[in-house]
Structure 1
């Protein structure tokens, strides 16, 4: 049974969209790590602030947290019973990221802190393009020892097949 769920993967994979759908379907409280981390005006919270917020959330018995943030992934992995890894092709993620930027340009998206309007950020795009040679390697290393919790989905069709098998308990 899914009770403490992490949704991870590269930017633009659809983590927040999936987490929202799962929250509704499973009746679990949802926490977007971007909202926990960012303050209005794109001011990043301190590492201690996000760790304290996450410690309080993960101490609970039921939750969904979307976001990879490898600096805080270890403690979340320890408490999670399920990790849904959207291991999608980076080319798809780049297209989705660009679509998201266009769709929400100038305003905050639903999974982001109010006051953090969507914008084009070349450094963020480069981070995503380089996912497989940096962030992915760090994420995969952190996942070692948690293989029994991981549901790795490699494309939207696999995700849909998995979703079709889930009960609707809410």
Structure 2
């Protein structure tokens, strides 16, 4: 487990898990939201973003959290582990709203400074329909992949159990 990709719905806790995993395994963590979004929620040019991701993936060890469909296939080809947080829509919606309230008027730690936490109807719809629309595509891609390790976690309690049972010297 040296090149780890953490994916799943908004509000699932990808950034939190990636930070915890990075600390436990001493592997650098890259939040794709931080790379893509510039202050004021200005998106990075797609080609520049893709090039940055390719540069980061050239390293021997990394943890990347985020979906970003435009780079998902190349990240799936380069990772040795995928952690898919496949939680219920209600868990993710509740967590997204909680996060919005917790970081009201400020940028959260895994986001670019100057991107104040926000929530809008499109984001809530994306979360609500994630398990119907995006998750089946992700599962299909994972089933066709040759990735060494796929960890499919369906609840926060399953994630906690998996994480707590993971040794810090996990086959690096």
TM-score interval for Structure 1 and Structure 2 normalised by the shorter chain: over 0.9
**TM-score for both structures, normalised by structure 2:** 0.93
* Structure 1 unmatched runs, 5+: none
Alignment partners' CA distance in 2, 1:152 and 1:66:
15
Show the counterpart of 1:104: 103
Alignment partners' CA distance in 2, 1:132 and 1:10:
8
CA contact (8 A) 2:11 2:95 kept: yes
Give the 3 Å change call, closer, same or farther, for CA 131–111 of structure 1 in structure 2.
same
Alignment partners' CA distance in 2, 1:13 and 1:142:
20
Show the counterpart of 1:152: 152
Q: When the two structures are aligned, how many residues end up with a matched partner? A: 169
Alignment partners' CA distance in 2, 1:148 and 1:59:
18
Query: SS state of the match for residue 120, structure 1?
Result: coil
Query: SS state of the match for residue 130, structure 1?
Result: helix
Show the counterpart of 1:66: 65
Query: SS state of the match for residue 84, structure 1?
Result: strand
Show the counterpart of 1:122: 121
CA contact (8 A) 1:73 1:142 kept: no
Alignment partners' CA distance in 2, 1:111 and 1:73:
19
Show the counterpart of 2:56: 57
Q: For residues 73-128 of structure 1, what are the alpha-carbon distances to aligned partners after superposition, in whole Å with 9 as ceiling and x for unaligned?
A: 10001110000001111110000000000000111001111110001211111111
Query: SS state of the match for residue 36, structure 1?
Result: helix
**TM-score for both structures, normalised by structure 1:** 0.94
CA contact (8 A) 2:86 2:135 kept: no
* Structure 2 unmatched runs, 5+: none
CA root-mean-square deviation: 1.5
Alignment partners' CA distance in 1, 2:113 and 2:128:
27
